[in-house]
Amino acid sequence: MSRLDEILAKPRPDPDDLAVLLGADAPTDQARVLAAAYAVKVRVVGPVVYFRGLFELSNLCTKDCLYCGIRRSNQNVERYSIPVDEILTGAGWAYEQGYGSVVLQSGERSDPAFVDLITELVTKIRALSHDELAITLSVGEQSEATYRTWFQAGAERYLLRIETSDPALYRQLHPADHSWERRRDCLRLLHSSGYQLGSGVMIGLPGQSTEQLARDILFFEQEKVVMIGMGPFIPHGETPLRDAIRNFAWKRHAQLALALRMIAATRLYLPDVNIAAATALQTLAPDGREQGLMAGANVIMPNLTDPRYRSSYQLYDGKPCLDESATQCRGCLEGRITSLGETIGFGLRGDSRRFLDRNIGVATRGASSRGQPRAVENTGGRGEGTEIHDRGRRREYGVKIS
């Protein structure tokens, strides 16, 4: 029996097994790792894909991450901020289409006007959706007071990628005034403030090893991350890391394969988390996000940003769907997903199973149509078809996980 056979025969890989899974790059081995992860996904979270409508609010950013196309030093970007009423119109459309959740993402700012803007958007989106749309924020490092203000306003989930769990590698990717420790501390503040905590890393960074990626997965567990958004690193031509991976064009296939193994290894090790199939996968292959779903991801973030802003929010070269409207995006994705035999969780919030199971019996804020706290029932976390919570006009049901 090979080491891979032994690992795949276990109910759950051990920490020491993760680097083996991540290094299983022979085509047959890779196919077995991905198939095992897909089976776990179907058993634990179901063959359901949750949509989160993504709004790229603004590309103004005070930070200067060396890999990012909208870093403050890039002078060749037309800066924009989408007006509040346009975002609200888009969020209303998402609600009517049955999206259970929206994501508000932008470059990082922490000035009072920005804090107020996010508070206003969160408050108004909750109101227009009768408290039903779950809101994820992805707007960077903030103070504890700010995180709590936004949580009180109605944001329930927050995505802050640690980028890499290795502080030394982080320092190579950021200017000296950016701090890995501060980012890790922000994750802890978000958790203690009550958010469903999301984080993630870039995969295939220059100089990154499979051992470091394995430690990233352990970091997610250690920091109580329940939503994971991670994707391949893709160079941007106007950043200092433009040539950090030599002959990147020839390495796209290997970069995609590694990203898929990272999704699969994460699903095998943390079966009940939500994992997004990042848009960056689609840059490496037209069906990259579908491949992500077949490797164990269960979330997709259709881009609802108006096409006239999208080309100014290019984090990496080759961002797909730059001129596609939200309606076109939905139609295209629906067809692709149903062809895989998966269903789309329209009308469902798609809370992280791991988050719900860990908060059993605890009343969490939000989500009833009358704005009352939602009671999360003690389901034991195991019953097929068990009602997890009642959201007024929509209900969600658990999926058998053992």
Q: Which residues bind ligand SAM (CB under 6 A)?
A: 67-68, 105, 107-108, 138, 140, 160-161, 163, 202, 231, 233-234, 236, 280, 315-316
Per partner kind, with CB cut-offs from 5 to 8 A, the member of ligand SAM, ligand SF4, none near residue 161 is ligand SAM
Helix, strand or coil, per DSSP, at residue 192: helix
Task: Name which of ligand SAM, ligand SF4, none residue 138 binds, using a CB cut-off of 5 to 8 Å depending on partner kind.
Answer: ligand SAM
Which residues contact ligand SF4 by CB under 6 A? 61, 63, 65, 68, 70-71, 107-108, 140
Least distance to ligand SAM, CB of residue 248, Å: 11
Contact 49, 344 (CB under 8 A): yes
Beta bridge partners of 159: 198
Partner that binds at residue 236, options ligand SF4, ligand SAM, none, CB closer than 5 to 8 Å by kind: ligand SAM
Q: Which is nearer to ligand SF4, 129 or 199 (CB)?
A: 199
Please, which residue, 36 or 160, has the CB nearer to ligand SAM?
160
DSSP per-residue string spanning 298-355:
-EE--B-S-HHHHTT--SSTT-S-TT--HHHHHHHHHHHHHTTT-EE-TT-----HHH
CB of 395 to ligand SAM, least distance (A): 32
Residue type (1 letter), 203: I
Q: Which two tokens stand for residue 188?
A: 């802890």
Closer residue to ligand SAM in complex, CB, 107/154: 107
Q: Tell me how far, at minimum, the Cβ of 143 lies from ligand SAM, in Å.
A: 15
List of residues 6+ apart from 299 with CB closer than 8 A? 49, 50, 51, 52, 227, 229, 274, 275, 276, 277, 350
User: At its nearest, how many Å lie between ligand SF4 and the CB of residue 65?
Assistant: 3
Residues with Cβ within 8 Å of residue 45, at least 6 apart in sequence? 271, 272, 274, 298, 353, 399, 401
Token digits for 280? 């960056």
Question: Closest CB to ligand SF4 among 40 and 241?
Answer: 241
Residues 46, 53, 252, 234, Cα dihedral to 10°: -130
Nearest by Cα to 198 from 229, 154, 222: 229
Smaller CB distance to ligand SF4: residue 140 or 194? 140
| CA 199 to centroid of chain Cα atoms | 7
Spatial contact of 195 and 149, defined as CB atoms under 8 Å apart: no
Give 335-343 contacts, CB < 8 A, sequence gap 24+: 336/287, 336/289, 336/290, 337/49, 337/290, 337/293, 337/300, 340/290, 340/293, 340/294, 341/47, 342/47, 342/48, 342/49, 342/293, 343/47, 343/48, 343/49
Partner from ligand SF4, ligand SAM, none binding residue 71, C-beta < 5-8 Å depending on class:
ligand SF4
Q: Min. distance of Cβ 54 from ligand SAM in angstroms?
A: 11
Dihedrals φ, ψ of 236, to 5°?
Answer: -115, 130
**Is residue 16 a contact partner of residue 265, using CB atoms and an 8 Å limit?**
no
163 vs 351, beta carbon nearer ligand SAM: 163
Work out how close the CB of 238 gets to ligand SAM at its nearest, in angstroms, rounded to a whole number. 11
Which CB sits closer to ligand SAM, 48 or 201? 201
When CB distances are held under 5 to 8 angstroms depending on the partner's kind, the choice from ligand SF4, ligand SAM, none that residue 316 binds is ligand SAM
- Closest approach, Cβ 68 to ligand SF4, in A, equals 3
Question: How does DSSP classify residue 17?
Answer: G
| Least separation in angstroms between CB 72 and ligand SF4 | 7
Residue with smaller CB distance to ligand SAM, 322 or 375: 322
Q: How far is the CB of 265 from ligand SAM (least distance, A)?
A: 18
Closest to ligand SAM by CB, 149 or 164: 164
